[in-house]
Amino acid sequence: MERIDSLVKLLSRLPGIGGKSASRIAYHLIGADETYNKALGNAIATIKENIHFCPVCGAYAEADRCEYCLDEGRDKNLLCVVEQPQDVITIASSGIYNGLFHVLGGAINPLEGIGPDQLSFASLKQRVKEGSFKEVIIATNPTEEGDTSALYIRQILKPFDITVTRLASGLPIGGDLEYADRLTLARSIRGRVSF
Amino acid sequence: MERIDSLVKLLSRLPGIGGKSASRIAYHLIGADETYNKALGNAIATIKENIHFCPVCGAYAEADRCEYCLDEGRDKNLLCVVEQPQDVITIASSGIYNGLFHVLGGAINPLEGIGPDQLSFASLKQRVKEGSFKEVIIATNPTEEGDTSALYIRQILKPFDITVTRLASGLPIGGDLEYADRLTLARSIRGRVSF
């Protein structure tokens, strides 16, 4: 079945989808509603056409600027710096952050040849210089690359009279001490808070 | 992000894809190659258009008959009865079966109102009557419904001078006795073979 095989091959290139899941999805689609298949197929085929990067903050945008930069209701004193555009959506959908965003486009990773010049540090500095921000929250990943980028941000924002913070690291809520990795545990001990 | 949300919603209706995986796939697609997205989208949107059921055996077919019925190299003395069209592909791709197929379209399940009349038992009987089959291998699932269907097949094929067999049930190869469920273990003991 050439057509099924080809669909299975395409599906199994998606993240988290192995050969078995790809087959299962393909057979599901053969039995699924035609309208649904067309809607899904079209959404996949055109997703890149309709989404670009916000020229101000680098988040995904459907209009000329992203919904966060366009939203007058957001707190213009707060700026949250993230690595990737999807991190913006993750943080915005948490519902506890109502400020603006800045997407670096990755993290400093000398081993892969990603230095500060490949990321949007310059425009971050420019935005802080020209904006009304009182606090910059660094929300890069709690990895070596994310930490390096965080240190770099602290460095370039030093000239400004602005609070720079970093998301707390530690044990995940609902997690079990027994399953915490050594690094997370070490961070949660070093960063212990009075109680 | 209306477009991303709508893609995530469509993706999360696929089997085995939850909300988190759907988001992950959607972001992957935004960053993926446009040619790939178009190929995948088109394959999904058109999969039903190009696939129908073989009028002879009920397997998936791209031509007027399925590739197994059209293949002159397959053993016309052997007929394997399965529940679903995808089971044909599973058995064919195992590489150890070279006969023909018959798809029931499901299994007898009185609780869900599926009786023998809803399944292709009549055409199975007809094919056995008119064909040159020497053996019918029942490969329905090792479930209550599959077993009931197997008994029903044995019953309707009684008038014919033909061997009727059923796939062996027992411990899966590479499995661990400790993790075998009670029913599988019971079957493997009842069906023990001399060694």
The ipTM value here is 0.74
Nearest to A43 among B7, B32, B89 (CB): B7
Contact B104, B120 (CB under 8 A): yes
Q: What pLDDT does A37 receive? A: 96
Confidence (pTM): 0.72
Nearest to B3 among A16, A21, A62 (CB): A62
Statement: residue B1 has pLDDT above 80:
no
Q: Do A44 and B27 touch (CB under 8 A)?
A: no
Q: Do A62 and B34 touch (CB under 8 A)?
A: no
B24-65 pLDDT per residue, tens: 999 999 989 999 999 999 999 999 988 889 999 999 998 899
Q: What pLDDT does A134 receive? A: 95
Q: Mean pLDDT across chain B, nearest whole number? A: 91
**Could you tell me if B86 lies within 8 Å of chain A, comparing CB atoms?**
yes
**Could you tell me if A169 lies within 8 Å of chain B, comparing CB atoms?**
no
Distances (CA, A) of A184 to A15, A91, A159: 26, 21, 32
Q: What pLDDT does B6 receive? A: 93
Residue to substitute from B35, B40, B67, B70, interface A, most A β-carbons within 10 A: B40
Which residues in chain B are contacts of A37 at CB distance < 8 A? 44-45, 47-48
Q: Do A44 and B39 touch (CB under 8 A)?
A: no
Q: Residue B42: how many CB atoms within 10 A of its CB? A: 16
What percent of chain B has a predicted confidence (pLDDT) above 70? Answer: 100
Contact A21, B58 (CB under 8 A): no
Task: State the average pLDDT over residues B69-91.
Answer: 93
Statement: residue B162 has pLDDT above 80:
yes
Q: Residue B186: how many CB atoms within 10 A of its CB? A: 12
Task: State the average pLDDT over residues B105-125.
Answer: 95
- Using CA atoms in the order A151, A152, A158, A164, what is the torsion angle rounded to 10 degrees? -50
What is the block-wise mean pLDDT of chain A (195 residues), using blocks of 10 residues? 90 94 92 94 93 93 92 95 91 89 96 94 96 94 92 95 89 78 81 77
SS3 B20: helix
**Could you tell me if B29 lies within 8 Å of chain A, comparing CB atoms?**
yes
Contacts of A57 (CB under 8 A, 6+ apart): A66, A68, A69, A88, A100, A101, A102, A103
Of the candidates A159, A153, A54, A165, the one whose C-alpha atom is nearest the C-alpha of residue A108 is: A153
Q: Give the model's confidence band at B191: pLDDT under 50 very low, under 70 low, under 90 confident, else very high.
A: confident
* Integer Cα distance of B117 and B112 in angstroms: 13
Q: What pLDDT does B114 receive? A: 94
How many Å lie between the alpha carbon of B94 and the closest alpha carbon of chain A?
14
Which domains, ranges and CATH numbers included, belong to chain B?
2-50 (1.10.8.420), 60-194 (3.40.1360.10)
How many Å lie between the alpha carbon of A139 and the closest alpha carbon of chain B?
19
